[in-house]
Structure 1
Amino acid sequence: MLRYPDPAQWSQEPLERRLEANSGTRAFVLYLMVTKRIRGDFPYLLERKLANIFVEVQGTDYEDDLRFFSAQARKVGFSERVSAAMTTSVIAKILLRTQQPLTQITSADLEEFETCCRAREAQTGISARPLLVLSSSTRQVLFHAHLLANPPLSRTQRVPLKDRVGAVNGPFAQFLLRYLERKEVTCTRKTVSSLATRLAHFGQFVTEADPSLASPAELTRRSHIEPYLVSLPRSPNTKSSGTLSVAEQSRRVRAAGNFLREITEWGWPEAPPRQLFFRSDVPRLPRPLPRHLPPDADRLLAQELLASDYRQAADALLLQRACGLRIGELLDLELDCVHEIPEAGTWLKIPLGKMKTERMVPLDPDTLALVDRIIAERSPGQPLAHPRTGKPAQFLFTHHGRRLGESAVRLELNRAAQAAGLGKITPHQLRHTYATALINAGVTLQSLMALLGHVSAEMSLRYASLFDSTVRTEYERALDLAKSRIGLPDLKEHRSLLPLSDVSVGSWHDTATIKSRLAGGHCLRSPAQQACQYANICEHCPSFRTEDSNLPVLEAQRKDALILAQDAKRRGWDSEVQRHEALVTQLDLLIERTRTA
């Protein structure tokens, strides 16, 4: 440095020459930057590691800024290692470059840093991705520290619609672009993106088949539409090595048909003069039953998720299973989604989803505890823009200042399923499993529709077809009749029935049965049948009311319930003890309420 009486002259030297400096010179240069005698430049700083920056900045203006940023990064949820990497690799270099306090760092400074990272990659071949990821996380920290006005943009940038239809030849692409821009007014971004993919495929096919095609009005059934329909089963799937599924073929036919139908309805002069797509062109879709998880698989998956180290994604999947949510609804849950309703318990408010409707789902104590754990572990910070409305919202699932992504949830599910030896499982199967469990428990179709957010009974009937008790009854009746005609023994005679002596000798309180004391009598069931789910349902209903004349009935019912609780305790039936004691508690409440009314 003796050759440079003015240190600023050294900064003008070519980068290659400055990088040749020995360790002593490098330390002195860093000292000059820290004391603001020379301004750092990104090409030089990107080649230098600042692992000891906290030692170098002691007693300077930079020390408080770096420590504040590091603390904010930890607050958002980043680990100590990642926080240190952001501090030394990004924010320290930006401060040395700008010579400004942390409070005056702008998005433009970060953009300059990222531009230099990309330029370095182009010149040296060293990947810029690690630094760009750290820069994006730095933006996130600065946003939640109220130092930047906006959070970082998604790393996955949206491809413009014009580029999406760029492979379509000739002027036909302009009509597709106009249509997609019109659909943006009424459809979600995801829907328009899917339409763009399918219409681009349609447009590319018809323009390659007929290079002179200039307008939808020139399309004909025989020359364009029928060859397109024939080609679909052989069309490659860009997401896999196979061909398009029948479902995707159906979507592409519908997309192209709707495009031509709607521009006709809108009165476009370029619309075809006659209908070109018909209902019979749409491939018939298979209608498989919902793919629920068997109880054993459901239990194994839950165990793996409970043992997961990635708690937020695992808890998200557990909540989806407990409430039957679609994955989009799950990730759109907001921080205030839990509602306590007097005399009706705790409910989860499900946001607008696939059917554009909101709904409420009841929460049991275990699920409520799960939600509390999610809230305790989420990363705090400023509200983020809602994908549907653009308004700021505090989402339930936030990680490192960002919303939990769908891909992260799917990866965690794949990991847990593989660890449990279950093969491939999709998040929607957890919803199927939830609905199937409700059907098995005897829930009504109306209740199932409300819990799943279905807008038509047909959607819920798919689950009802899994275990139809009427079908089972008719099957057994027909089977018994068929066996009687060919002389086979009736298996019902060999079934284990409730012994008559159990219900005919002595007091019914002492029988070895599952007993329920009802207001107008009692019920006895075989232990194999377990307790009736409808027993004492009225007494536990929040809407149940009684009057003074019924007090003797309630008191007698309470007395018998205490006897049944003692009998169940003697037999070691813990669940029965809890059931009878819960009835006693509820009867006490009803009796007290009636007496004081």
Structure 2
Amino acid sequence: TGISLTTNATNYRRRTLGIVNSLPRCGGPIPFQERLAQVTAPLREEIIGYLERKKATCQTKTVSVLATRLKHFGVFLATIDPDLSSIAGLDRRRHIEPWLSSLLDTVSDKDGQPISIGDRNRRVVAVTTFLTDITEWGWDVAPARKVIFRDDIPKLPQVLPRYLPIDADRRLQEALTDHPTNELAALALRVQRACGLRIGELLDLELDCVHEIDGNGAWLKIPLGKMATERMVPLDVETLDLIDRITQIRSHGRPLPHPRYRRSAQFLFTYLGRRLTQQGVRAELDHAADIAGLEHVTSHQLRHTYATALVNAGVSLQALMALLGHVSAEMSLRYGRLFDSTVREEYERALDLAKQQTAPQATPNTAPSNTGPGGRTQLPLTDITGGQDWKDTPLLKSRMAGGFCLRAPAQGACPYANICEHCPSYRADASSLPILAAQRVDAEALARDAEDRGWIDEADRHHKLISRLDALMANTQATAG
């Protein structure tokens, strides 16, 4: 009785003074039990068990995103089949197909708008991965049969990287340089554009990130990022000056905990004693874009712009992968599809051929503005070659004593090209030596052109002609002497 009175008195005082039995949660991740409260208890425990297992191999943020997507699936199952007692009872017709159909009408919790095809794709992939994992692990809760297949995953559109055009890029850089509201954030964006960093990699840069290598210049050490890999990026003088300025204006203070390595670190971008945030960087980018007269620009577009500039400059695929930190060639090839020099060259070649087929034909001796039979104007020779020297055209070329021949690469080498020069019955006299010498000079130029374009067989053909011309001129000179 005494214990009951004491307990009642304590509870009365707690209610009177507003004392709670447990402290409220302030910050930090929401517990899985709370996040999955709308999922029926049996399914909730199985999903939580899976998420706890994923913590061992995935980052905390990855597991958190996975929990959100599995929650959506669990809530749907609780709605259409509240009596379902285990994931093992999933049936394709009763559960999976209705869920896949419902995604078309599902709305976002944030804005109430239908979710995008990308969100639909990620939700189906998350559930597919969940079921695949527990099956491979041999869990008893895994369905006995496969219920989701590859064709169930919505296909994502293959969009090209969203780079900034040259003029827009220039105006944005000028705005970041001349009109910053937060100089540190503006400098961070300029470094991101100069090195092609992801925003997480940018803000994780440490104070000692610049490395000087004897005879090989300065390099930027980029920390672990999205692909969990480190890399080194070469720096030019302008970017080194940016980093020097950053070290001058950054906040100096005690080391801060590193989000990946669980150790203290001196970060490059510290502002008012704290790390520069993504929100601060985005706010500065919005300000600069407004001054530059641009629509909404994301920081990741600066990375796309950096990669596009490299592709335009002719950087190799291997170098692009190393600079961007890509782990597969497919990731870098997205930029290669933007401006493919081979595609451009083939387009120009085809366009030239089309113009030749539709334009009036010309002869080598036709002068500009000459009028042929019937009053038809005949074009000058340069119109056949698109206005450039015939030796520079993107076509297969052959030099002959009286002119030249052009063929499309798709046609392949002509089997009759220079057949006379290679014929055993061919003879030349002393008066033909200047012509043969000129033909040899052109053959050397054509061989180099073919090698530059990767036409190995065509280059070999020209080299054989050069050898034959050398023999002909030597025999002719010997006979004349």
Same fold (TM over 0.5): yes
Maintained 8 Å contact 1:410/1:426: yes
Equivalent position to 1:360, from 232, 235, 239:
232
Q: Which moved more, 1:488-497 or 1:201-210?
A: 488-497
Summarize the Cα distance change of 1:355–1:227 in structure 2 as closer, same or farther, 3 Å threshold. Answer: same
Q: CA offsets, 1:300-343, max 9 Å, x none?
A: 11111112120111111111000000111111111110000001
State how 1:401-550 maps to structure 2 within 5 Å: 401-487=273-359, 495=387
Partner residue of 1:196?
67
Match of 1:350 among 219, 222, 228: 222
Contact 2:181–2:284 (Cα < 8 Å) also in 1: no
Q: Measure how far apart 1:355 and its partner are.
A: 1.0
Pick aligned residue for 2:52 from 172, 178, 181: 181
Q: CA deviation at 1:444?
A: 1.1
d(CA) in 1 for partners of 2:46 and 2:345? Answer: 58
- Residues 283 and 337 of structure 1: CA distance in aligned 2, closer, same or farther (over 3 Å): same
1:290 aligns with 2:158: no
Distance 1:183 1:328 in 2: 22
The one-letter code sitting in structure 2 at the alignment partner of 1:260 is L
Distance in 1 (CA, whole Å) between partners of 2:26 and 2:281 is: 18
Q: TM-score, normalised by structure 1?
A: 0.56
- Residue 239 of structure 1, CA deviation: 3.0
Q: Which residue identity is paired with 2:159?
A: P
State which of 369, 374, 377 in structure 1 corresponds to 2:249. Answer: 377
Distance 1:241 1:435, change over 3 A: same
Q: Which moved more, 1:350-359 or 1:476-485?
A: 476-485
Structure 1: how far apart are the matches of 2:182 and 2:220? 23
Assess if the C-alpha contact under 8 Å between 2:352 and 2:385 holds in 1: no
Equivalent residue for 1:303, pick from 174, 189, 193: 174
SS of the residue 2:238 aligns to? helix
217, 223, 229: which one pairs with 2:94?
Answer: 223
Paired AA for residue 369 in structure 1: D
Alignment check: 8 A CA contact 1:257 1:277 kept: yes
Partner of residue 390 from structure 1, selected from 229, 241, 262: 262
Q: 1:358, 1:263 → 2: CA distance?
A: 31
Give the deviation of 1:174 after TM superposition: 1.0
Asked whether the 8 Å contact 2:352–2:386 carries over to 1, the reply is no
Deviation of 1:496 (Å): 7.6
2:40 counterpart residue number: 169
Aligned equivalents of 1:495, 1:429: Cα separation in 2: 38
Return closer, same or farther for 1:452/1:225 CA change in 2, 3 Å cut-off: same
Q: 1:169, CA displacement in angstroms?
A: 2.5
The residue identity in structure 2 corresponding to 1:256 is V
- Identity percentage of aligned residues: 58
Deviations along 1:71-121, one digit per CA (max 9) or x if unpaired, are: xxxxxxxxxxxxxxxxxxxxxxxxxxxxxxxxxxxxxxxxxxxxxxxx9xx
Matched, 1:158 2:29: yes
> In 2, distance between residues paired with 1:375 and 1:405?
17
The alpha carbon displacement at 1:486 in A equals 2.0
Tell me how far 1:491 sits from its aligned partner.
Answer: 5.5
AA aligned to 1:401 is: G
Q: Determine helix, strand or coil for the equivalent of 1:171.
A: helix
CA contact (8 A) 1:304 1:419 kept: yes
Instruction: Write the letter of the residue equivalent to 2:60.
Output: R
How far apart in 2 are the matches of 1:464 and 1:288?
13
- The C-alpha deviation readout for 1:456-500, integer Å capped at 9, x for no partner, is 111111111111111111111111112222226775767488xxx
Structure 1 distance, partners of 2:290, 2:105, is 32
**C-alpha separation in 2, matches of 1:312 and 1:444:** 33
State the partner residue of 2:420. none
Q: How many residues align?
A: 347
What is the rounded CA distance, in whole Å, between the counterparts of 1:169 and 1:491 in structure 2? Answer: 77
The unaligned stretches of length 5 or more in structure 2 are 1-17, 19-24, 361-378, 390-481
Kindly indicate whether the alpha-carbon contact (under 8 Å) linking 1:348 and 1:362 is maintained by their aligned counterparts in 2: yes
Q: Which residue of 1 aligns with 2:145?
A: 274
Q: Secondary structure at the match of 1:355?
A: coil
Give a deviation string over 1:342-373, Cα, whole Å, max 9, x none. Answer: 01000000011111111100111110010111
**Structure 1 pair 492–236 and aligned structure 2 pair: CA distance change class (3 A):** farther
- Give the corresponding residue for 1:326: 198
Matches within 5 A, 1:12-23: none
Amino acid at match of 1:329: E
What's the RMSD between the two structures over aligned residues? 2.1
Within the candidate set 98, 104, 110, 1:239 is matched to 110
| Structure 2 residue 313 is matched with structure 1 residue 313 | no
| Contact 1:170–1:213 (8 Å) recurs in 2 | no
Alpha-carbon shift at residue 178 of structure 1 (Å): 1.0
- Once residues 370 and 495 of structure 1 are traced to their aligned partners in structure 2, the CA distance between those partners, rounded to angstroms, is 46
In the superposition, relative to structure 1, how do residues 491 and 231 fare at CA in structure 2: closer, same or farther (>3 Å)? farther
Task: Tell me, in whole angstroms, the C-alpha distance in 1 between the residues paired with 2:288 and 2:48.
Answer: 42
Structure 1's 203 and 264: CA in aligned 2 closer, same or farther, altered over 3 A? same
Q: What is the CA–CA distance in structure 2 between the aligned matches of 1:473 and 1:282, rounded to whole Å?
A: 37
What is the CA distance between 1:389 and its match in structure 2? 1.9
State the secondary structure of the residue aligned to 1:286: coil
Whether contact under 8 Å (1:360, 1:451) holds in the other structure is yes
Contact 2:88 2:142 in 1 (8 A): yes
Shift in alpha-carbon separation, 1:155–1:345, aligned structure 2, 3 A:
farther
Kindly provide the CA deviation profile for residues 21-80 of structure 1, in whole angstroms up to 9, marking residues without a partner as x: xxxxxxxxxxxxxxxxxxxxxxxxxxxxxxxxxxxxxxxxxxxxxxxxxxxxxxxxxxxx
Does structure 2 conserve the Cα–Cα contact (< 8 Å) formed by 1:357 and 1:453? Answer: yes
SS in 1 for 2:212: strand
Residues 356, 384 of structure 2: 8 Å contact kept = no
Asked if the contact 2:186–2:285 (Cα under 8 Å) also holds between the matched residues in 1, the reply is yes
Does the aligned pair in 2 maintain the 1:383–1:394 contact within 8 Å? yes
- 2:238 and 2:37 map into 1 onto residues whose CA distance is 52
Matched-pair contact (CA < 8 Å) for 1:170–1:207: no
Gaps of 5+ in 1: 1-118, 120-153, 498-597
Alignment CA distance shift 1:492-1:435 (3 Å): farther
Q: Which amino acid aligns with 1:202?
A: F
